[in-house]
Amino acid sequence: MSTDAQADARRPATLQLLKPGRLPYDEGLALQEKLIQDRIDERITDTLVLLEHPPVITLGRSGAETDIVAAPAALEQNGVTVHRIGRGGEATYHGPGQLVGYPIIHLYERARDIRRFVFKLEEVFVRLLSEEYGIAATRDDEHRGVWVENEKVTAVGIAIRNRVTMHGFAFNVNTDLSHFSWIIPCGIRDRGQTSLAKLLGHELDSGVVEGLVERYFREVFGYSVVSGSTTSGSASSAESDSGTSAN
């Protein structure tokens, strides 16, 4: 066991798990806003939200309108909304069949710094894909996220407020990959997107995959206890993000 893993093992902690199902993006963002303020104020423990969004495009701090290549009429016809948000990075897509995770975590208690935190998020999927499905997934020093050869299977983009993380990861499980043609994903023109279903040649039980993500997340970050799996109450907005972000 590495020194970092040993350090985490000495600090067992409770992780609150929330599974609100499919939420419109603005409702998911409002939920994050409430949870991050509750975590800053120490009203809740570290929390992982696992959910799915209807079709949506988000633009991070480095994103531009030109990262959206689909015509507005085409997006409207497909029920796609567009949101500019405070995470790092450019444009990304969320939609049915994609497991989105929002870790609301005190950074320095679980990872000490942002680079270590992003490394651990990627490690969740590198290990899961290798150990459960025999897929050789890797990191890329130039582009964050988890890759299988030249295609991204998990996107990572976070923001930090008062040492607490928000936003997180998007894992393509049964995602309709054609929807990524609406954007230049993360500003990268010369690489593709993939999904677990594409890699295995069949669709997956989303509940099973969700359970695996939960387990590997707990193992990598050193949580020994999970509390609850219900949604939080109605969310309220909070102050704007500050601090560092990664993508």
Segments of the chain assigned E as strands = 13-22, 47-52, 56-59, 81-84, 91-94, 98-104, 146-148, 151-161, 164-172, 192-193, 223-227, 245-246
Q: Are strands 13-22 and 47-52 parallel, antiparallel or unpaired?
A: parallel
Active site residue 186: yes
CA pair distance 215, 218, nearest whole angstrom: 5
Task: Give, as one character, the DSSP assignment of residue 183.
Answer: B
241: DSSP letter:
P
Q: Coil, strand or helix: which one is 94?
A: strand
Q: Dig out the tokens for 191 from the structure.
A: 């690489």
Catalytic residue, chosen from 118, 155, 186, 220, is 186
Nearest of 97, 122, 125 to residue 215 by alpha carbon:
125
Active site residues: 186
